[in-house]
Amino acid sequence: MFGVSASGGSARAISAALEGISAFEWAPDGKSLAYLSRNPMSADEQRQRADRSFVTRVGAPERATRLWIQPLQPTGDGGWRAGEARAITPANQYVDSFSWSPDGREIAYSAAPTTGFTAPYYARLHAVSVATATPRPGVDRSGMNTSPRFSPDGKSIAFVTTSERLGLMAPRGLAIVPASGGD
């Protein structure tokens, strides 16, 4: 990912996410960036792709899409110096959306245990400590539970849900849960 100073200038690398970035959001204090990216390829997979011996298996799970934190320090000339990015969600979760808490200490996110077309219907809400990368459950019920957004005071999380209904035609609605989790 690249960034350009609001006052202009040349683009500078902010992140070296080898698998690309599908979503990002600045931390409330502007000192780090959260983004979604897939787990990097293993050395063996890189070798197989390079020598064209890689085999794609239908139905095999893809590498997980995880939530990463990229610390950034301003350089004084409108640019940033990037620190080491780290994944803060478990390797067995496919994260699809997230939101910083107003104080920047936590990130609410939705994730499913699988990927694919129907994955959103198995998504649950979680929150993860930015400092310790310790996740905790937020909303654990059937159906779609995605697109979490913290309230401005950080006490609640709004999200899109099918209210325990499964299926493509299940009606969607907006729900609110305490930021600490629950019903």
pLDDT digits (tens, 9 = 90+) for 156-180: 999 999 988 877 788 899 999 999 8
Q: What is the pLDDT of residue 61?
A: 61
CA 48 to chain CA centroid, nearest Å: 28
Mean pLDDT over each residue of the chain, to the nearest integer: 85
pLDDT at 168: 79
Contacts with 94 (C-beta within 8 Å, 6 or more apart), sequence order: 64, 65, 111, 112, 113, 114, 115, 119
Q: For residue 49, what pLDDT band results from cuts at 50, 70 and 90? A: low
Query: Can you give the pLDDT at residue 158?
Result: 96
Band of residue 58 on the pLDDT scale cut at 50, 70, 90: low
Q: Tell which residue, 50, 135, 141, 154, has the closest CA to residue 92.
A: 135
What is the pTM for the complete model shown?
Answer: 0.84
Residue 52 pLDDT grade (very low, low, confident, very high; cuts 50, 70, 90): confident
**How confident is the model at residue 101, as a pLDDT?**
97
